Structure 1
């Protein structure tokens, strides 16, 4: 875990603790609805800590690609493209000169 992430976690926990203290004060000296509001608000930073701890540190780790290897994956996908029409039609059509062109059948 890097330093900015630790600082962010510390900020979340501190914010949650401050809201919990405000919750206790509201239940003692203020209206009950405000106490419930602060109690719910004190859970939000803790949920953020949980969600961020589950997030991958590198953007491509979520897709099963090691850090730094995403350029290779992109290059392989670009090299695997067969024709211009395939790219522009999201893979549904091919140019007439494309070797991967599959003739359309009228059979349903």
Structure 2
């Protein structure tokens, strides 16, 4: 009986030792940004950037000039017709992951 009690008493603690994984910028971008900023037609953010900055700067995932600071500012403050994302929508860790992923060096095409 004593052994059985120890097993059941330790069960709630088992879930506490699991560390949460760091946010994945690519997945977060796909979930929160790609509806407006993916490649191809039907994405208003990409279309607007093509008009304002040119086709080489339209698709965020392909850009090589983005800095984490610029991405963070655009996400938090919004940019032109893009509304800002609040911390209740994307945490600071989420924004940092997206910014790091978008600003990472890209392979040459």
The TM-score by the shorter chain falls in which range? under 0.3
Which structure's relative contact order is higher, taking Cα pairs within 8 Å and 6+ residues apart?
2
User: Which one has the largest radius of gyration?
Assistant: 1
TM-score normalised over the length of structure 1:
0.24
